[in-house]
Structure 1
Amino acid sequence: MEQTITTSVNDLAQAFSIAFRQEFQPLKQELQILAANSTSQHLDNGTGTSRIACEGDSMANIKRKYTINGESVWIQGKSEQDILEKACALMGAQTRPAPAAKHNFRAYALDWFKNFSLPNVEQVTAITYKRELDLHIFPAFGKMNIEDITLSDVQALFNRKGAKKESLMKTRTVLNQIFRKAIDDDLMRKNPLQAFSFRLTGEASDTTQPYSVEEMRLMVERIGRLTNPNDIAYLAVATMQPLRLEETLGLQWQDVDCQAMALHIRRAVTHPDRNAPIVKETKTQEKRDVALTKTTLHYLGSILQGAPTDFVVGGKVPFSYTQVRRMCQRIARQIDFPGKITPQRFRTTVLTDIYDQTRDIKLTQAAAGHKTADMTLKHYVKCRQINQASASAIDAIYGNEN
């Protein structure tokens, strides 16, 4: 009897459940549609639609659909406050200005070179700047953005092993101009090269040693052995006058003043690209008249002179770097010189002997074409003998001849 009653109750419960679902399922669907079409929520720059979490959703979550800046997004949260905070954060992210675009260093530096450097410097200087960019600066910073370059990056460039201080200073000259422009363009706040912590050291440049008096005498005595007019003219000028190599190559026959016994230094020939000689006027302080020795005049008179605007060494066209190197090798062979003919050593040697013989630093400075006597003493005058005058003065006061 009890079993029969229980079975009847279970059957009744099952039947009631089926009837309930059939009766209220349409109502549930209507509620879902109503929730999806409920009144929009208005924000400053978007609208939102509520969605009640139903079957299959966690009852602890709320979903709302918002239109923000023309895009529809669903935001889910555990409370109204959570939904609001997420919506505000999303609207703030979309309205926040995009970060400024950065600038590739290589492209920026080439623009500086093209528009600010190249039109305003001499051709030789421009070639030097471009070489610094290609050899040292671009390998270090070419793939970086200029905004991302730090003091540590710059210091690493100047810490390169084996670099001469003179070379590092050339690199700094170019890089400093690029950084200064970047500051003008508001791409950098500070110039790393002006930082207190920045250091530029580098190795000292090799000192140019003068030829000995005996070596100079041998070269002068054997000029007559030379057969090439260019070789004769070069050695006669280089061994007797304190000229730079580029000044010797820049001499034209109109600069040889036999009446005043002078060489008028007005132009120079440089080789920034090795075999492409460039003729330029000398700097203002380097324009000068250098006394012409009788020995030089004698040998210049022994060769056929060209037109006034022809070069003393080279003729119609000045010598290239390769031609100078081959000429020096040829001269050394023909005069049986035991060492190497090095153009840079002639100027140092002649200035050293001018000072040694005259003890007049102002005279030596004028012959060198230097702005200051300090430059002449520091870089070119290598005294061959110790001046005993100071020792003699002390001997006269304190000395005991016994």
Structure 2
Amino acid sequence: MATIRKRELPSGKIVWQADYRDGGGKRRHKQFATKKAADDFLLTARGQVRSGTHVADSASITVDKASKLWLAQAEKNGRERATVARYKSTYELYIKPKFGATKLAALTSPAIQTFIDDLTGTMSASSLAKVHGALTSIYKHAVSRGHAAINPARDIQMPSATRDKKRPEMPTKDELRAILKHTPARWIPFVRTAMLTGMRASELRGIQWRDVDLDAGIVHVRRRVDRYNKFGPPKSDAGTRDIPISDSTVTMLKAWRKECPKGEHDLVFPNGEGNVEGHANLLHRMFWPVQIKAGVTVETEEKDEDGKPIVDAKYSLHALRHAAAALFIEQGFPPKKVQDLMGHASLAMTYDVYGYLFKSEDYDRAKIAEMETALLG
């Protein structure tokens, strides 16, 4: 039987103690400053005991312990090493200092909301979403294993990401031509394929010759390589796709195949020994130096001995993917086709990133004129 009684502590402080039995029949006690708070707790606790989800504060584990269990399960479930590393980094940097020692049952939605509100404006919206996502996932795992009764992070209000959203940076056609012109012959097949297919760098690094149908002119995207050079499937089901290539690209790849370093994985774009090429190597040894030679640069805040600004490469490899999407859209490919070619999980994602490129003021004005004519003659 659950009861509430008034108690005077040795310090003279008056508290209201809620007494009840948990799902295992063990007596539990919890003290509150007001009778209303004790009533509210018992009302919730009774419902949780009936549903078999109640976890007493004294039996609750800490957020830090729960995070370790969550991360271990993520590894066991086969999540990519880089993904688990990102989960752990997010937890260690932001969540652990604030809540690591707190018991799961003691952390409330208002406390989490205040935490999120305090972080808002100190980081990008996407980074903030990762922090919230990690905390939500820790509790989701804990609830499913009986370590927590509820997920207080689930209904937190997040700031709108609209203001934080920027249009993707991508090379112009002139910059693309300059990059190709200054790319060493050994890397032209890689850079040109990236420009014209929109494949992710991880997909290009993992593509094998059996994935390239040179007779049909089709590249079959079936795998990718992570930052640790481990093979795995594309980022999502939509990432498994077929991308057409032109006759000239087929000719280029046929010639490249004869020169391509051979290795156990039969990679299309391996390193000099035929093994997986590291992403960092592609940037430091090839793509960034190429841009500097091509004049595709931005000024840094540093200056050389003569006082002139030191320049740096303007784009990441991912910018070539954005450039390919822009070229697809310029050619008149409809949004759904662009989604398929880019391997986006949803059409909404395609519009979120590239929607502004589909707009045409002249086309819109023409359609408005047609509407006016149809209505007014």
Letter in 1 for 2:71: F
Moved more, 186-195 or 231-240: 186-195
Q: Check if 1:164 corresponds to 2:124.
A: yes
Q: Check if 1:348 corresponds to 2:322.
A: yes
Letter in 2 for 1:179: Y
Q: CA RMSD in A?
A: 3.0
Q: Check if 1:212 corresponds to 2:167.
A: no
Instruction: Find the aligned partners of 1:113 and 1:397 in 2 and give their Cα distance.
Output: 57
Counterpart of 2:222?
A: 266
Q: Check if 1:363 corresponds to 2:318.
A: no
Instruction: Find the aligned partners of 1:357 and 1:330 in 2 and give their Cα distance.
Output: 30
Which deviations, in whole Å up to 9, do the C-alpha atoms of 1:285-304 show, x marking residues without a partner?
Answer: 21111111344334434441
Runs of 4+ in 1 over 4 A off after TM superposition: 96-99, 184-187, 396-399
Q: Check if 1:297 corresponds to 2:250.
A: yes
- Are residues 165 and 286 of structure 1, via their aligned partners in 2, closer, same or farther at CA, if it must alter by over 3 Å? same
What's the offset of the Cα at 1:336?
4.2
Q: Check if 1:183 corresponds to 2:143.
A: yes
Equivalent residues, number? 294
Residue 137 of structure 1: which of 84, 89, 95 is its match? 95
Letter in 1 for 2:318: Q
Pairwise mapping of residues 45-124 of structure 1 onto structure 2 (< 5 A)? 100-114=58-72, 116-124=73-81
Counterpart of 1:312?
A: 268
Instruction: Find the aligned partners of 2:208 and 2:242 in 1 and give their Cα distance.
Output: 14
Instruction: Find the aligned partners of 1:387 and 1:270 in 2 and give their Cα distance.
Output: 41
Which deviations, in whole Å up to 9, do the C-alpha atoms of 1:42-74 show, x marking residues without a partner?
Answer: xxxxxxxxxxxxxxxxxxxxxxxxxxxxxxxxx
Higher RCO by CA contacts (8 Å cutoff, separation 6 or greater):
2
Counterpart of 1:47?
A: none
Structure 1: stretches of 5+ with no match in the other structure:
1-95
- Are residues 131 and 262 of structure 1, via their aligned partners in 2, closer, same or farther at CA, if it must alter by over 3 Å? same
Instruction: Find the aligned partners of 2:147 and 2:355 in 1 and give their Cα distance.
Output: 47
What's the offset of the Cα at 1:164?
2.3
What's the offset of the Cα at 1:97?
6.9
Scaled by the length of structure 2, what TM-score is found? 0.68
- Are residues 318 and 381 of structure 1, via their aligned partners in 2, closer, same or farther at CA, if it must alter by over 3 Å? farther
Counterpart of 1:16?
A: none
Instruction: Find the aligned partners of 2:28 and 2:211 in 1 and give their Cα distance.
Output: 67
Counterpart of 1:226?
A: 183
Instruction: Find the aligned partners of 1:200 and 1:250 in 2 and give their Cα distance.
Output: 36
What's the offset of the Cα at 1:395?
3.6
Scaled by the length of structure 1, what TM-score is found? 0.64
Equivalent residue of 1:143, what SS?
Answer: coil
1:162 and 1:202 in contact (8 A); partners too: no
Counterpart of 2:206?
A: 250
Instruction: Find the aligned partners of 1:219 and 1:294 in 2 and give their Cα distance.
Output: 22
1:242 and 1:367 in contact (8 A); partners too: yes
Greater CA radius of gyration, 1 or 2?
Answer: 1
Letter in 2 for 1:390: D
1:158 and 1:200 in contact (8 A); partners too: yes
